[in-house]
Amino acid sequence: MNEARLIALIDELRALPHETEWVEFKVDYSDPEVIGKRISALSNGARLRDKSAGYLIYGVQNETHAVVGTAFKGESGKAKGQPLAFWLSQRLNPFPVVTFAEVNHPDGRLVLIEIPAATGTPTKFGNIAYIRVGEATPKLSDYPNLEKQLWARLQSYAWERDVAQEYVPTDNVLTLLDYENFLPMLGSPIPSTGARVVELLAREGLVAPDVGGRWNILNLGACLLARDIHAFPRLARKAIRLIQYRDTSRVHAISEQLMGRGYAISFEHLIDTIMSLTAVESIGALRATAHPFPRPAVRELVANCLIHQDMTVTGAGPMIEIFRDRIEVTNPGQSLVEPKRFIDMPPKSRNEALAAIMRRMHICEERGSGIDRVIEAVEDTHLPAPDFSSATEFTRAVLLGPRNFASMTVAERVRACYQHACLLNEEGKRATNATLRARFDVAASNSAHISRVFADTRKAQLIKLADPDAPKGGYVPYFA
């Protein structure tokens, strides 16, 4: 760890008028049970007070905040014959990645324990959650008002506000983040000084002040604006993977790219690349390039993938796979909305700040309209209906290539009929034989085939008569 930052951090914490729910000073007292309870309390207190971490500092007097040094061994200490860190990891739940640091402060040796703020659920020690109240460390359950406040904070916790890289000088912020492309996309002029640029990024929630006049680059800033996302080791797996296959299976990959720049500044290049890889050149008297997949549909599906991914899933990031007959767009995390209701229900975004900035940059549509645009683009080009699915660890959208009505499976026709009814229902209209014939580009003479699709879709319980007393009045989705 950067010792200059640690010294600056400790001196800033010492400047506080007294201990807080997220900061505690000790000299040499190092009973492991006490440390475990303190870690639970400081982790919960940090989240309660909207801090990214709590701190337990050994070698500082509580009364005066003077540095007196400590003999506490820190991480190398023992707890009942086991290494302290290992002993704690077995008793803290969920286990925060606690950092022990020996600090050679100018006034004496210190040990700093940095404890991430609780996420998802209160941090417990021995299956009990603790909290700081004054200088005491009682059980959280003994203070129901504080417990209620903590749960409210946990529910509003956003991964976007966590730190991707800390203690960054102003010049390095400008080197790591592509502000030159970002600010004009927001319609904002580029300030004349680097300090003003970073202040503007801070107002956008992309960076935050650290100690010693330096900055923390937040996950939101790194994900959106990184010149190279691999400069942020914690986020490297969030880079977009783009894979092209030779045929319709995953057996033979032609190419694989890791899109290393931030989502916002590389988005248009990513879409251009997808369109280029899927372009088909016709051979004839005049050569022409055709795009079997409509660009608006590709844009919205990729934007939805980035915005709605579960950033807390480790070891996985957004993936776009191009096959000869389809494009599959996969993001980590189970969808918060039932896939059948993607069209009509407002999305529940895990990453609202990211979504808000991407909307302002005109990368994605306004809330709730993105999937509608996908279906509209698919219907306008008479493609098979996209297939949306979600499992425990991922959500996937499959955009299928050109195929005429006769070549579609029964399941594909039923899915298209249901999506068609949903789209029209959003407009206050009804799906009829005529509207579905137009959607499939089927002649009026084949209306019996369309009637069969309606029958199959009703059998699947996905649509119903708009008016049971008027069978020719058209169809609406099952939930209407």
pLDDT, one tens digit per residue, over 127-152 is 999 999 988 999 999 999 999 999 98
Write down the pTM of the prediction: 0.84
Structure tokens at 163: 């730190």
Q: Do both 221 and 103 map to the same domain?
A: no
Q: What is the CATH number of the domain that holds 107?
A: 3.30.950
Question: Which of 233, 248, 268 represents a domain boundary (last residue)?
Answer: 233
Q: Quick one: which of 371, 463, 374, 377 has its CA closest to 417?
A: 463
Q: What is the CATH number of the domain that holds 425?
A: 1.10.10
Residue 163 belongs to what H/E stretch?
Answer: strand 163-168
Q: Do both 179 and 32 map to the same domain?
A: no
Question: Which of 401, 421, 454 represents a domain boundary (last residue)?
Answer: 401
Q: Do both 436 and 456 map to the same domain?
A: yes
Q: Do both 310 and 357 map to the same domain?
A: yes
The CA distance from 328 to 341, in Å, is 19
Q: Do both 199 and 114 map to the same domain?
A: no
Q: Do both 31 and 9 map to the same domain?
A: yes
Q: Do both 477 and 414 map to the same domain?
A: yes
Q: Do both 94 and 105 map to the same domain?
A: yes
The CA distance from 218 to 119, in Å, is 16
Strand pairing category for 240-245 and 319-322: parallel
For the segment 198-237, what is each residue's pLDDT rounded down to a tens digit?
999 999 999 999 999 999 999 999 999 999 999 998 898 8
Q: What is the CATH number of the domain that holds 298?
A: 3.30.565.60
Q: Do both 44 and 168 map to the same domain?
A: no
94: cis peptide before it, omega within 30°? yes
Give the phi and the psi of residue 450 in degrees, each rounded to 5: -70, -40
Q: Which domain holds residue 217?
A: 161-233
From first to last of its 480 residues, what are the pLDDT tens digits of the chain?
688 999 999 999 999 999 999 999 999 977 899 999 999 999 999 999 988 899 999 999 999 999 999 999 888 888 888 889 889 999 999 888 899 999 999 999 999 999 999 988 999 999 999 999 988 999 999 999 999 999 988 877 788 988 999 999 999 999 999 999 999 999 999 999 999 999 999 999 999 999 999 999 999 999 999 999 999 988 988 999 999 999 999 999 999 999 999 999 999 999 999 999 999 866 555 556 788 999 999 999 999 999 999 988 877 899 999 999 999 999 999 998 899 998 877 767 778 889 899 989 988 765 556 899 999 999 999 999 999 999 888 999 999 999 999 999 999 999 999 999 999 999 999 999 999 999 999 999 999 999 999 999 999 999 999 999 888 899 999 999
Q: Do both 66 and 111 map to the same domain?
A: yes
Domain count, the chain: 4
Q: Do both 106 and 182 map to the same domain?
A: no
Q: Do both 191 and 291 map to the same domain?
A: no
Backbone conformation region of residue 288, classed left if phi is above 0, alpha if psi is from -120 to 50, else beta: beta
